[in-house]
C-alpha cells in the first residue's frame, strides 16, 4: 500500500466468524489540501477465480446452480443462482485454483485455461479481486459428476445449455450473477463460440 494520500489510523476486527470483517479508520488527504477522517468496513474473504467452460462445436456452455443465502435474504424467492464455476484461491495461484474448482464443481478436468481479465466485484466493501478465465471443454474431459465438496457444504447442480440460451437468460433475469454475465458477454463480444 503506497498511496501517500491515505493513512490508516486504526483497524478493528468486528468478526472473523466466516471470513474477516474489519472496521478501518483512515485519513484521506484531499486535492484541496484538507484532511478528512473516514471510517469504513471491509470484508476480506480472500481472492477468487471464475471460469466459463464452452464447447465451440456444440455451441454450449457449462454453468452451475446453487443456493446463495445473501440473494435469498435480498428477495430472490428461491435463493438459487445460475453461475459460472468459481471459488477462492486458497493459497494457490489463480490458474491452479480455477482448474481445481472446475473439477470439483463441474466434474470436468481441464488443462488449458485462458485468463481474460480481473475485476473487483464490490470494491466499496469487499477486498476480493476475481480472476476471470475461459476454457474449451469436451465430453471426454468429464471425470466425475461434480457438485462440489461435501465438507464445504456445497450442493452444486451442473448445467449444460446452449450459449444462446445462456445469453437469453440474462435478458429474462434468470441469470443475475455479475461474474456470469461478464463472462457470457466476453464470449459474445469475442465470438468464442462462432
CATH code for the domain of 57: 3.90.79.10
111: which 3 cell numbers? 488443462
Whether residue 80 is found in the same domain as residue 168:
yes
Q: Considering the domain boundaries, does residue 105 fall inside one?
A: yes
Whether residue 22 is found in the same domain as residue 96:
no
Pick from 175, 111, 107, 179: nearest CA to 143? 107
115: which 3 cell numbers? 485468463
Whether residue 26 is found in the same domain as residue 90:
no
Whether residue 72 is found in the same domain as residue 139:
yes
> How far is the CA of 155 from the CAs of 58, 66, 69, in angstroms?
27, 6, 13
Q: Considering the domain boundaries, does residue 136 fall inside one?
A: yes
Whether residue 29 is found in the same domain as residue 67:
no
Domain count, the chain: 2
Q: Is 86 annotated as a binding residue?
A: yes
Whether residue 40 is found in the same domain as residue 114:
no
Q: Considering the domain boundaries, does residue 83 fall inside one?
A: yes
Task: Tell me how far apart the terminal alpha carbons of the chain are, to the nearest angstrom.
Answer: 43
Pick from 120, 112, 124, 115: nearest CA to 40? 124
Whether residue 98 is found in the same domain as residue 128:
yes
Q: What is the pTM of this model?
A: 0.92
Whether residue 152 is found in the same domain as residue 77:
yes
pLDDT, residue 18, reads 86
Q: Considering the domain boundaries, does residue 1 fall inside one?
A: no
Whether residue 161 is found in the same domain as residue 177:
yes
Q: Is 36 annotated as a binding residue?
A: no
Q: Considering the domain boundaries, does residue 194 fall inside one?
A: no
Whether residue 88 is found in the same domain as residue 136:
yes
pLDDT, residue 147, reads 75
Whether residue 63 is found in the same domain as residue 133:
yes
Whether residue 36 is found in the same domain as residue 58:
no
134-156 residue pLDDT tens: 999 999 999 988 877 666 666 89
Pick from 33, 28, 23: nearest CA to 7? 28
Q: Is 154 annotated as a binding residue?
A: yes
pLDDT, residue 148, reads 73
Which domain, by its residues, includes 105? 48-189
Using left for φ > 0, alpha for ψ between -120 and 50, and beta otherwise, residue 91 falls in left
Q: What is the CA radius of gyration of the chain?
A: 19
Flag residues of the chain having pLDDT under 70. 1, 149-154
pLDDT, residue 74, reads 94
Q: Is 12 annotated as a binding residue?
A: no
> How far is the CA of 92 from the CAs of 34, 48, 126, 133, 138, in angstroms?
42, 10, 20, 15, 25
pLDDT, residue 154, reads 67
Amino acid at each position: 500500500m503506497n498511496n501517500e494520500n491515505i493513512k490508516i489510523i486504526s483497524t478493528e476486527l468486528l468478526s472473523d466468524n466466516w471470513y474477516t470483517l474489519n472496521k478501518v479508520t483512515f485519513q484521506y488527504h484531499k486535492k484541496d489540501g484538507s484532511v478528512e477522517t473516514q471510517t469504513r468496513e471491509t470484508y476480506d474473504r480472500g481472492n477468487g477465480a471464475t471460469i466459463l467452460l464452452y464447447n465451440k462445436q456444440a455451441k454450449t456452455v457449462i454453468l452451475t446452480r446453487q443456493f446463495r443465502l445473501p440473494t435469498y435474504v435480498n428477495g430472490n424467492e428461491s435463493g438459487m443462482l445460475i453461475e459460472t464455476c468459481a471459488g477462492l484461491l486458497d493459497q494457490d495461484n489463480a490458474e491452479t485454483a480455477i482448474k481445481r474448482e472446475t473439477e470439483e464443481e463441474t466434474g470436468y478436468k481441464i488443462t488449458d485455461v485462458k485468463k481474460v481479465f480481473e475485476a473487483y466485484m464490490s470494491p466499496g466493501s469487499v477486498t476480493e479481486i476475481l480472476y476471470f478465465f475461459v476454457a474449451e471443454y469436451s465430453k471426454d474431459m468429464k471425470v466425475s459428476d461434480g457438485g462440489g465438496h461435501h465438507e464445504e457444504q456445497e450442493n452444486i447442480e451442473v448445467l449444460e445449455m446452449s450459449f444462446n440460451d445462456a445469453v437469453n437468460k440474462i435478458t429474462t433475469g434468470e441469470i443475475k450473477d455479475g461474474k456470469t454475465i461478464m463472462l457470457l458477454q466476453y464470449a459474445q463480444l469475442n465470438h468464442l463460440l462462432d
